[in-house]
Amino acid sequence: MKGSRALKSKKTHQAAGPQIVVRNRLADLSESIYQTIAHRAYEFYEARGCEHGHDLEDWLRAETELQSRVNVNVTESAGLAIVHFELAGFAAGETKVVIEPRRIILWGKKEHPDQQESEETSHAAILRVVDLPYEIDSAKAAVTLKDGGFDVTLRRVSSGRSN
């Protein structure tokens, strides 16, 4: 399968794709998201001269500024689900994907966001959770790089019914 790789594939010299994260590392990702937003919210607090009373406003502004919108398209056919993530401004190698039995979580973080844009429009992180109405077999997932994003191909777990 040219251009795609299984979850447990070895490193190749192809363009770096998203890193697949083991489910038990989800807590680490959550902590990283929290710390990134908290740090930016604190910068707003400091810029205002350490004036109290704007905590929620600072937090929401930091979330909006740091998290870029990610377009997702889910298509289904013959026991497969293909989830396409569009990564505007992010390389696939800057992302991590957590695959759970009924959802996919995409997380990306730039270590050094592009400072050419104004601070209000420079996004340093992406987060998207895609809930699925059926169970998937995470051991048989595959990632395929596409222009401007990537696809995650998932095999649905059989429900035990005949079609």
* CA distances for 10 relative to 6, 13, 153, angstroms: 9, 10, 18
Q: Is the pLDDT of residue 122 over 80?
A: no
Return d(Cα 50, Cα 42) in angstroms, integer. 9
Greatest mean pLDDT range, 24-33, 59-68, 76-85:
76-85
pLDDT of 9 reads: 35
pLDDT in tens, 70-112: 889 999 888 899 999 988 777 777 888 888 888 888 888 776 5
pLDDT of 54 reads: 93
Domain ranges of the chain: 16-23+67-156
Name the band, by pLDDT with cuts 50, 70 and 90, for residue 114. Answer: low
Q: What is the mean pLDDT of the chain?
A: 76
pTM above 0.85, yes or no: no
pLDDT of 160 reads: 55
pLDDT of 24 reads: 58
Using the 8-state DSSP alphabet, how is residue 52 labeled?
S
The strand ranges marked E within the chain are 4-6, 19-21, 67-68, 71-77, 80-86, 95-100, 103-109, 125-131, 136-146, 149-156
pLDDT of 145 reads: 83
Q: Is the pLDDT of residue 10 over 70?
A: no
| Higher-scoring residue by pLDDT: 120, 22 | 22
Topology classification of domain 16-23+67-156:
Immunoglobulin-like (2.60.40)
**In terms of DSSP bridges, do strands 71-77 and 80-86 run parallel, antiparallel, or are they unpaired?**
antiparallel
Q: Is the pLDDT of residue 120 over 50?
A: no
Nearest 5°: phi and psi at 16?
Answer: -65, 130
- Closest by CA position to 150, among listed 15, 18, 8: 18
pLDDT of 66 reads: 72
Q: In this structure, are residues 143 and 4 in contact, taking their beta carbons and an 8 Å threshold?
A: yes
pLDDT of 33 reads: 77
pLDDT of 98 reads: 84
Return d(Cα 87, Cα 89) in angstroms, integer. 6
Q: In this structure, are residues 122 and 43 in contact, taking their beta carbons and an 8 Å threshold?
A: no
